[in-house]
Structure 1
Amino acid sequence: MEDIQLLGEHVLLVPLKDSHLEGLYLAGQFQEIWTYTSAKIRSIEDMKQYIKQALYEKINGTQYPFVIIEKKTNQIIGSTRFLDIDCQQKRLEIGFTWLTPTKWRTPINTECKYLLLKFAFEQLSVNRVQIKTDHENKRSQAAIERLGAKKEGILRNHMIRPNGTIRNTVIYSIIDSEWSDVKLRLEGLLIRQM
């Protein structure tokens, strides 16, 4: 994938760069963001390592990280990415999505997912997009289900959280034959949320 910029009504998704460090750190200074994630950002050094790892995965071709910029303010408000990219099998995952808390329950997450899904299905011609979340993260599960993704099941004892506890992972997907209906659903949601 070349440098990708995805433009919506509310957001611009741009490729993650080292120069985004300060903006991402300011947006991510709220510990409630990191409750259910594998990342724990407590310092600017943590964010520097987060970016370094994401860019390493990009070079390897397994991930493509974005920064989320709110168009109205031109401020960085979070991050998201394609991951587990498998070109041969024509599938990928959307994940590592986080927003600064003032943008929760706004059209921004819906629009980010819409832009990423549209690019995945219409430009990359993937057969499948999956989204995963912590089994305890009910807010995330509700948001994924609102997109129109199908719940496939739970991966038991899937991960070890940074605090040492075991995480089960809920897995969802959208496949290419469902995209046209999901697209209409998301466009309807975005119109109602404006």
Structure 2
Amino acid sequence: MTAKLPAPVVLTGRHVRLEPLTTAHAPELFEAAGGDEEVFRWIPVAIPTTEAEMAANLTARLADPSCLPFAVIRLSTGKAVGITCYYDADAECESLEIGGTWYGRSAWRSEVNTESKLLLLHHAFDELGMGRVCWKTDHLNERSQNAIKRLGAQYEGTFRRARQRRDGSWRDSVYFSMLADEWPAARQRLTDRLAAG
């Protein structure tokens, strides 16, 4: 059976809405993070320094057949503040990856990532029937690794020299996963964290 991405949906929480990404989000995403080297430090694309470059970045992501990208909309402003994606969904293996995530600095250390991942995980496990959700990140990206661990994901291992960075150097990819039977406890922790503010 060929892997097939789930149908695009809109996922709405108390703080954020995840909606299918389009190039129409480019102006707000450029406003949120355009030209910010730290936001794009670990993303293997050219740093967008104009709205046109941001639109080209989004077009490339939309053209990737393994990717279902979402614009992350902050409900308090109604504006897009970042992107997150499903990758490599496989109904037969009951698995998918969450990745390609970035947020403008205004969303860092806020409820945005916690609720975005809560919405994605709920949809993956409770609505799509996935048995495994995974993440992978650069072995040098400690902020990403810590955020993934806080979700309740478990470290699986490190694939050495797995992917080339934008500067031509090679990264090791650190893999994490969460299984369906681990999801209820993780959901409670994430829900409690959001409620605590």
Cα deviation 1:51-101 (Å, max 9, x = unaligned): 1122222xx3x2210001100011110010101112221110000111101
Letter in 2 for 1:27: A
Residues 1:161 and 2:162 aligned together: no
SS in 2 for 1:41: coil
Q: Which residue of 2 aligns with 1:88?
A: 92
Matching of residues 16-31 of structure 1 within 5 Å: 16-29=21-34, 30-31=36-37
Matching of residues 173-188 of structure 1 within 5 Å: 173-188=177-192
Q: Which residue of 2 aligns with 1:7?
A: 12
Letter in 2 for 1:10: H
Corresponding residue to 1:137 among 137, 141, 149: 141
Structure 1 CA distance for aligned equivalents of residues 8 and 133 of structure 2: 20
- The structure where helix makes up a greater share of residues is 1
Matched-pair contact (CA < 8 Å) for 2:83–2:101: yes
Structure 1 segments (4+ residues) deviating >6 Å = none
Over aligned residue pairs, what C-alpha RMSD do you find?
1.2
Corresponding residue to 1:38 among 35, 40, 44: 44
> What TM-score, normalized to structure 1?
0.93
**Seq. identity, %:** 36
Cα deviation 1:88-141 (Å, max 9, x = unaligned): 211100001111012101111011000000000001001110011111111111
Letter in 1 for 2:80: I
Per-residue deviation, 1:42: 2.7
Structure 2 CA distance for aligned equivalents of residues 110 and 175 of structure 1: 18
> What TM-score, normalized to structure 2?
0.92
Structure 2 gap ranges (5+): 1-5
